[in-house]
Amino acid sequence: MTTTQSIITILIVVFGTILTRAVPFFVFPDGKTPPAYIRYLGTVLPYAVIGLLVVYCLKDSFSGSFHGLPELIAILCIAVIHKWKKNTLLSIGAGTAIYMMLVQVLF
């Protein structure tokens, strides 16, 4: 890729990013209530995305030699810590640390 092609590619990516960030502010201006289905998507979509990420992360873990045991232990720890402390950042951080410890030391 030449320098000119690289600059054009970067400019197109920047324009696309700015466009996707700015369009919602023009389509749904401040003070105007968005349609009901947009409010519904704003409520439901974050949970759907998290569920999709969990499924994507676990898709290959049950075919390995430990059949997903470190992942299941980490998920249980995340659930317990989140139920106990009600702190998302703490539960995800601790779950990641526990998973990495399990994979590096025990499994």
State yes or no: pLDDT of 2 exceeds 90: yes
pLDDT, tens digit, 9 for 90 and up, residues 79-89: 999 999 999 99
- Cβ neighbors of 87 (< 8 A, separation 6 or more) are 81
pLDDT, tens digit, 9 for 90 and up, residues 22-48: 998 999 888 888 999 999 999 999 999
pLDDT of the residue at 40: 96
If we measure between CA atoms, which residue out of 57, 49, 65, 67 comes closest to residue 95? 57
Residue the block writes with tokens 């409010």: 39
How far apart CA 107 and CA 100 sit, in angstroms, is 10
Within its chain, how far is the Cα of 60 from the centroid?
18
